[in-house]
A and B are shown apart, each in its own frame.
Chain A
Amino acid sequence: MQLTTGFASPPIDAARAFRLVLDAMAHPARIVDLPEIEAPAPCSPAAAIVLLTLVDATTPLHLAGAHDSESVRDWVRFHLGAPLVGPQDAAFALGAWDALCPLGRFPQGSADYPDRSATLIVEAAELRNDGARLTGPGIEAEAYLALPDTAALQANAAQFPRGLDFLFTSNVQLAALPRSTRIGGA
């Protein structure tokens, strides 16, 4: 078994990574470049950095589909210590879109506590600023992001303030789609 390394300097690397993730979450559809890092297959470097920055022993993690591999599980155990759980208990989930669906399996938050919902890290082949038209908080006029399933994400946004938040990752790139973003329409 060969483990890949984590952050070289955890406090500084995590701080810089978080600012990029925060920038993405505050500007839905903005594609940010995270630093290169060794990631366990089939996990992208961007997804690995998000996990190292946000996930630890207090946040149950669900690995979906191909990401539920021996190498990823070992890496999570060593670097994060996060409990590996089913989708219904997850605070974070990692996988390809098809493996994560249906979205209703994840905690959606309650009307009282909408923050108690899962954040999904969706691995994509590429991130492109075309396709669905997005408006809402964080977007000055309009933005575009190619989405895997517009209808399912519209249904998620329609639950606001409940709902899931999405971090799309591809290689070293990351873009966010919080539940507050309105998808499609004029």
Chain B
Amino acid sequence: MTDYNFAYLDEATKRMLRRAILKAVAIPGYQVPFSSREMPMPYGWGTGGVQVTAACLVPEDTLKVIDQGADDTTNAVSIRKFFARVAGVETTEATARASVIQTRHRIPETPLTEGQILVFQVPIPEPLRFLEPRETETRTMHALEDYGLMHVRLYEDIAKHGEIARAYAYPVRVEGRYIMDPSPIPKFDNPKLDNSPALQLFGAGRECRIYALPPYTRVESLDFEDYPFTASKAAGQVCAICGAEDSYLDEVITDDAGGRMFVCSDTDYCATRVAAQAEDAA
């Protein structure tokens, strides 16, 4: 532990990150440029999230890290171990016990509470990037609140497919101003962004952007009056392990003869339910 500065980064870097985080909180949904550092992991493994977490951690924190909802996958385990080593913080898999949660592409099923911080790992922070590749142009579009292109894109989806064909990274509007990419969370999780009591921070390391949703911020998923947003998941399925009907499910292929099962993506939620059921049965 003493071999590293607290939370790995040097103090000047953490000050730079902290200033960017405060501006991001003051301008909800706006992507604040920051001077992203090389981290001891490759881009795409959460370098942005790790830098935001490092800037926020205090020794008293309890850290949870999830990857697609799971606490026990490579990315989650390695980041959790990283901070246990360089910041000496306690770690947990229980959503309710965590004060800081770093996540790759899910929001936990257990409702977050006031005082918790949720840090998202973001690959492409710019929601307009696949519609307009030039940073100068997308920046002007945000400045002028010129979001016609995004609405045309959603309309074209309906014309071609009969619905808005986006299952994840579904764009949202923050406090009626900035259009924001909620990171590649399933659109099932979008309603959890709205009016959350927790502070939500987004870090994109390769793209050098930090953005934020303060607690109790209005977050609307983009839609049309006649094609309202729906937070969909695997239709008509329940979790094969815990029987949950209300959680987001992963499809697991079990053989090469078309066998499959659906299980909770949130491993903590599933395990907690299984434990409760075992207790009830006993």
Residues of A within 8 A of B (CB): 10-12, 14-16, 18-19, 21-23, 25-27, 53-56, 58-59, 91, 110-115, 117, 119, 136-140, 160-161, 165, 178-180
Chain B's closest residue to A178 (CB) is: B26
- Interface 1/0s, chain B 50-86, versus A by CB < 8 A? 0000011111000000000000000000000000000
Contacts of B58 in A (CB 8 A): 12, 15-16, 19
Check B7–A15 contact: CB distance below 8 A.
yes
Instruction: Pull 6 A–B residue pairs with CB atoms less than 8 Å apart, ordered by A.
Output: A115-B20, A140-B216, A160-B27, A161-B27, A180-B27, A180-B28
Contacts of B175 in A (CB 8 A): 136-137, 180
User: Which of A15, A140, A178 touches B25 (beta carbons < 8 Å)?
Assistant: A178
- Name which of B25, B33, B57 has the most chain A CB atoms within 10 A of its CB: B25
Contacts of B28 in A (CB 8 A): 137, 180
Q: How far is the CB of B139 from chain A (nearest CB, A)?
A: 5
User: Which of B12, B27, B57, B218 touches A179 (beta carbons < 8 Å)?
Assistant: B27
Check A140–B215 contact: CB distance below 8 A.
yes
Check B177–A137 contact: CB distance below 8 A.
no
- Name which of B11, B26, B28, B115 has the most chain A CB atoms within 10 A of its CB: B26
Residues of B within 8 A of A (CB): 5-7, 11-12, 14-16, 18-28, 30, 32-33, 55-59, 115, 139-140, 143-144, 175, 177-178, 197, 199, 213-218
Q: Is the interface of A mostly helix, strand, loop or mixed?
A: loop
Q: How far is the CB of A83 from chain B (nearest CB, A)?
A: 15
- Complex Cα distance, B33 from A26, in Å, reads 19
Chain A's closest residue to B198 (CB) is: A26
